[in-house]
Amino acid sequence: MRRLFTHDRQSVLRKLAIVPPFAWLALFLLVPFLLVLKISFADLRFGIPPYTPLATLENETLSLSVHLSSYLLLFRDSLYVATYISSVKMALVTTVCCALLGYPMAYYIARANPRARNMMLLAVILPFWTSLLLRVYAWVGILRNDGLLNNALMALGLIDSPLEIYRTDLAVYIGLIYAYLPFFILPLYANLVKFDMRLLEAAYDLGARPFQAFWRVTLPMSLPGVIAGSLLVFIPTVGEYVIPEMLGGADTLMMGRLMWTEFFNNTDWPMAAAVTCVMVLILIVPLALLQYNQARQFDSERRHGKT
Amino acid sequence: MDNRSVTPAWPADEDEFVRVDDVVKIYGDVVAVQSVNLSVRRREIFALLGSSGCGKSTLLRMLAGFEEPTSGRIYLDGEDITALAPYRRPVNMMFQSYALFPHMTVEANVSFGLKQEGVPRNEIHERVFEALDLVQMAGYSRRKPHQLSGGQQQRVALARSLVKRPKLLLLDEPMSALDKQIRQKTQIELVRILDQVGVTCIMVTHDQDEAMTMASRLAVMTEGQIVQCGTPQEVYEFPNSRFVAGFIGSTNLFTGTITVDEPDHVLIESDELLRPMHVNHGVSEPLGMQVYVSVRPEQIRVAREQPQAEYNWSRGIVSHMAWMGSHARYQLRLDSGLVVEAAVPRQIMAQTDAPGMDEEVFIHWSSESAVVLAS
User: Are B162 and B64 within one domain?
Assistant: yes
DSSP code per residue over B200-253: EEEEEES-HHHHHHH-SEEEEEETTEEEEEE-HHHHHHS-SSHHHHHHSS--EE
Residue contact B101–A212, C-beta within 8 A = no
Residues B224 and B308 in one domain: no
Distance CA B170, CA B74 (A): 14
Residues near A22 by Cβ (< 8 Å), separated by ≥ 6?
A: none
Q: What is the pLDDT of residues B156-180, one digit of tens each?
A: 999 999 999 999 999 999 998 888 8
The predicted pLDDT at position B6 comes to: 42
Confidence at residue B326, expressed as pLDDT on a 0 to 100 scale: 84
Burial of B63 (0-12, 13-18, 19+ CB in 10 A): buried
- If you average pLDDT over residues B326-340, what whole number do you get? 90
User: Which residues of B fall within a CB distance of 8 Å from A303?
Assistant: 146
Query: What residue in B sits closest to A206 (Cα-Cα)?
Result: B113
- Residue B63's nearest CA partner among B105, B120, B21, B112 is B21
Say if residues B86 and A205 touch (Cβ distance below 8 Å): yes
Does the pLDDT of residue A58 top 70, yes or no?
Answer: yes
Mutation site for A-interface testing, chosen from B61, B66, B68, B116 by largest number of A Cβ within 10 Å? B116
Q: Which residues of B touch A300 (CB under 8 A)?
A: 146
Within a domain: residue B152? yes
* DSSP-derived pairing of the beta strands B16-27 and B71-76: antiparallel
Q: Please tell me the distance from the alpha carbon of residue A145 to that of residue A178, in angstroms, as a whole number.
A: 20
Rounded CA-CA distance B292/B373 in Å is 5
pLDDT digits (tens, 9 = 90+) for A112-145: 999 999 999 999 999 989 999 999 999 999 999 9
**Same-domain pairing of B263 and B234:** no
Q: What is the pLDDT of residues A63-109, one digit of tens each?
A: 888 888 889 998 898 989 999 999 999 999 999 999 999 999 999 99
Mean pLDDT of B268-285: 86
Instruction: Tell me if B1 is assigned to some domain.
Output: no
Task: Report residue A272: phi and psi, to 5°.
Answer: -60, -40
What residues of A are in contact with residue B95 (Cβ under 8 Å)?
A: 198, 201-202
Q: Is the pLDDT of residue B155 over 90?
A: yes
B86 to A220: CB separation less than 8 angstroms, yes or no: no
ipTM above 0.90, yes or no: no
What percent of chain A stands above pLDDT 70?
Answer: 94
Q: Is residue B294 domain-shared with residue B186, that is, in the same domain?
A: no
In chain A the first and final C-alpha atoms are separated, in Å, by 31
Query: CA B78, CA B16: separation in Å to the nearest integer?
Result: 9
Q: Which residue of B has its CA nearest to A204?
A: B87
Q: What's CA B14's distance to the chain center, in Å?
A: 24
**B88 and B212 co-located in one domain:** yes
Asked, for residue B48, whether it belongs to a domain, the answer is yes
- B217-222, strands of its sheet edge to edge: B91-94, B168-172, B200-205, B45-49, B217-222, B225-230
The 3-state DSSP class for residue B319 equals strand
pLDDT over 90 for what percent of chain B?
A: 62
pLDDT for B265:
87
Could you tell me the pTM of the whole model?
Answer: 0.81
Contact A182, A173 (CB under 8 A): no
Q: pLDDT (tens digit, 9 = 90+) per residue, B70-103?
A: 999 999 999 999 999 999 999 999 999 999 999 9
Last residue of a domain, one of B217, B242, B267: B242
Q: Residue B104 falls within a domain, yes or no?
A: yes
Torsion over CA: B47, B50, B52, B55 (sign): negative
Establish if B201 belongs to a structural domain. Answer: yes
pLDDT reported for residue B179? 84
Query: What is the identity of the amino acid at B325?
Result: G
Residue A1: band (very low, low, confident or very high) from pLDDT cuts 50, 70, 90: very low
Q: What share of chain A is helix, strand, coil (3-state, %, to 5)?
A: 75, 5, 20
Selecting from B100, B146, B161 the residue whose C-beta is nearest the C-beta of A303 gives B146
- Give tens-digit pLDDT for A173-218: 999 999 999 999 999 999 999 999 999 999 999 999 999 999 999 9
CB B367 within 8 A of CB B280: yes
> How far is Cα B160 from Cα B343, in angstroms, rounded to an integer?
43
Q: Are residues B266 and B156 part of one domain?
A: no
Q: Is the pLDDT of residue A305 over 80?
A: no
The answer to whether A297 contacts chain B (CB < 8 Å) is: no
Q: Are the beta carbons of B99 and A198 separated by less than 8 Å?
A: yes
Per-residue model confidence (pLDDT) at position B121 = 94
Say how far residue A93 (Cα) sits from the centre of its chain: 13
> Which positions 176-205 of A are in contact with B (Cβ < 8 Å)?
196, 198-199, 201-205
Under 8 Å between Cβ of B172 and B95: yes
Identify all chain B residues contacting A222, using CB atoms and an 8 Å cutoff: none
Interface test with chain B among A205, A215, A300, A302, by most B beta carbons within 10 Å: A205
> Cα B55 from chain centroid?
14
B88 compared with A51, residue with greater pLDDT: B88
Q: CB-based contacts of B48: which residues, under 8 Å, 6+ apart?
A: B56, B59, B60, B202, B203, B204, B205, B218, B219, B221
SS3 state at A254: coil
Asked if the structure places residue B8 within a domain, the reply is: no
Q: In this complex, is the C-beta atom of B238 within 8 Å of any C-beta atom belonging to chain A?
A: no
pLDDT of residue A14: 84
How many beta-carbon pairs below 8 A join chains A and B?
A: 63
Are B300 and B363 members of one domain?
yes
Specify the amino acid at residue A99. A
Domain identity same for B268 and B152: no
Q: Which of B242, B272, B302 is the last residue of a domain?
A: B242
Taking the C-alpha atoms of residue A126 and residue A179, their distance in angstroms, rounded to an integer, is 12
Residues of A in contact with B117 (CB under 8 A): 207
* Cα A40 → chain centroid: 23
A303 contact B CB<8A: yes
* Residue-level pLDDT at A156: 92
Q: Say which CATH number the domain at B169 has.
A: 3.40.50.300
Report CB contact under 8 Å: A208, B66. Answer: no
> A106 with A189: CB under 8 angstroms?
yes
Chain B 81-120, residues with CB within 8 Å of chain A CB atoms? 85-87, 91-93, 95, 97, 99-103, 112-113, 116-117
Highest mean pLDDT out of A160-164, A296-300, B215-219, B333-337:
B215-219
| Identity of the amino acid at A289 | L
Q: Please give the pLDDT value at position B9.
A: 44
Domain hosting B21: range is 16-242
Q: Taking a C-beta distance cutoff of 8 angstroms, is the pair B67, B58 a contact?
A: yes
Query: Domains along chain A?
Result: 89-252 (1.10.3720.10)
- For residue A204, give how far its alpha carbon lies from the nearest alpha carbon of chain B (Å): 5
Mean pLDDT of chain B: 89
B86 to chain A, closest Cα gap in Å: 5
Taking residues A229-247, report their average pLDDT: 92
Residues B196 and B56 in one domain: yes
Q: What is the distance of C-alpha B269 from the center of its chain?
A: 32
Residue A175 near residue A166 (C-beta atoms within 8 A): no
**CA quadruple B311, B317, B318, B319: dihedral positive or negative?**
negative
Domain ends where: B188, B218, B242?
A: B242
State how far residue B349 is from chain A, nearest Cα, in angstroms.
Answer: 44
Torsion of CA B297, B302, B308, B310, to 10 degrees: 30
Which of A202, A209, A304 has the CB atom closest to B146's CB atom?
A304
Write the residue in A199, A208, A303 that is nearest to B87 by C-beta.
Answer: A208
DSSP 8-state symbol, B55: S
- CATH number for the domain spanning B365: value is 2.40.50.100
Instruction: Give the mutation candidate from B103, B148, B169 for the A interface (greatest A CB count, under 10 A).
Output: B103
Listed range (A46-50, B206-210, B213-217) with the worst mean pLDDT: A46-50
Average pLDDT over residues A268-288: 87
The answer to whether residue B11 sits within a structural domain is: no
Q: Which of A301, A213, A271, A276 is nearest to A69 (CA)?
A: A271
Cα distance from B83 to chain A (closest Cα, Å)? 14
Could you tell me which residues come within 8 angstroms of residue B241 by beta carbon, excluding any fewer than 6 positions away?
B1, B2, B5, B227, B228, B373, B374, B375
Cβ contact B274:B258 at 8 Å:
no
**Would you state the pLDDT for residue B261?**
85
> Side by side, which strands form the sheet with B339-345?
B301-303, B360-364, B313-323, B327-334, B339-345
Q: Which of B92, B100, B150 sits opposite A205 (nearest CB)?
A: B92
B201 and B302 assigned to the same domain: no
What pLDDT shows up at residue A4?
A: 53
CA distance B332 to B306: 15
**Among candidates A196, A207, A217 on the partner chain, residue whose Cβ is nearest the Cβ of B87:** A207
- The more confident residue out of B148 and A301 is B148
Q: At B20, is the secondary structure helix, strand, or coil?
A: strand
SS3 B142: coil
Same domain, B221 and B299: no
**CA distances in angstroms from A130 to A135, B248, B311, listed in the order given:** 7, 65, 89
What's residue A303's pLDDT?
60
Structural domain includes residue B9: no
Number of structural domains found in chain B: 2
* pLDDT value at residue B2: 41
> To the nearest whole angstrom, how far is the Cα of A203 from the nearest Cα of chain B?
8
Query: From CA A161, how far away is CA A117, in angstroms rounded?
Result: 41
At A304 the pLDDT is 55
pLDDT at A300: 67
Are residues B95 and A304, on separate chains, in Cβ contact within 8 Å?
Answer: no
In eight-state DSSP terms, residue B28 is T
Strand, coil or helix: A70:
helix
Question: Amino acid letter at A210?
Answer: P
User: What are the strands, taking DSSP E only, across chain B?
Assistant: 16-27, 30-41, 45-49, 71-76, 79-80, 91-94, 168-172, 200-205, 217-222, 225-230, 252-261, 266-269, 277-279, 290-295, 301-303, 313-323, 327-334, 339-345, 360-364, 370-373
The SS3 assignment for B144 reads coil
* B58 in Cβ contact with B33 (< 8 Å): yes
Distance in angstroms between the alpha carbons of the first and the last residue of chain B: 8
Min Cα–Cα distance to chain B from A195, Å: 11
Summarised one tens digit per residue, pLDDT across range B51-77 is 988 999 999 999 999 999 999 999 999
Reply yes or no on whether the pLDDT at B150 is more than 60.
yes
